[in-house]
Amino acid sequence: MADGFCVVDPARASIQTVVEGVPALRLEMIDTVDPVINGEMSSYRVRVKNQGTAEDTDISVTVRLPAELQFVDGNGDSSVSVNNSLVTFAKLDNLQPGETAEWTIDVKGVGSGKIKSTANLRSAASTGGVSEDEPTNAVSR
């Protein structure tokens, strides 16, 4: 409640403050084997954690694999599909504060070089997107 004094017509007004939470998604991608030897397997673990104080919605995650890695399998908190080198996780409707979503991508080394895989995340709160690169060494025997 606020009162206005020293005015011609005294006034009184009320205000209400609403404190809302904010979603804050963290994207993390790590390789489990580095270097990846040509013909052998490795995996990537992709995690999205809501570190904020409010839910986030419409969460989409993709991973772009380099030509030196071949997609073998994927699983996690939503279905996994692949089109050429783009791995797509089915959209999550929401992620509550403190919750984590996780996926695993199994890959096979098919080339050599200093490579990187890139994860991208979009959600209702992070429309500009978030990216995470994971460098890996791919080597021949």
For the entire predicted model, the pTM comes to 0.84
Closest CA to 100 of 19, 8, 44, 27: 27
| Residue 20 structure tokens | 């809302």
- What pLDDT is stored for residue 22 in this prediction? 92
Q: Which of 3-7, 23-27, 90-94, 112-116 has the lowest mean pLDDT?
A: 3-7
Number of domains in the chain: 1
Q: Using omega within 30 degrees of 0 as the cis cutoff, is the peptide bond preceding 23 cis? A: no
Q: Each residue of 63-113: pLDDT tens digit?
A: 999 999 999 999 999 999 999 999 999 999 999 999 999 999 999 999 999
For residue 57, being part of any structural domain is answered with yes
**What is the domain-level CATH number for residue 41?**
2.60.40.1530
State the Cα–Cα distance between residues 24 and 133, nearest whole angstrom.
19
Residue 127 has pLDDT above 90, yes or no: no
Task: Report residue 10's pLDDT band, with 50, 70 and 90 as the boundaries.
Answer: low
State the Cα–Cα distance between residues 46 and 16, nearest whole angstrom.
41
Give the domain extent around 87: 23-139
Strand partners, 82: 87
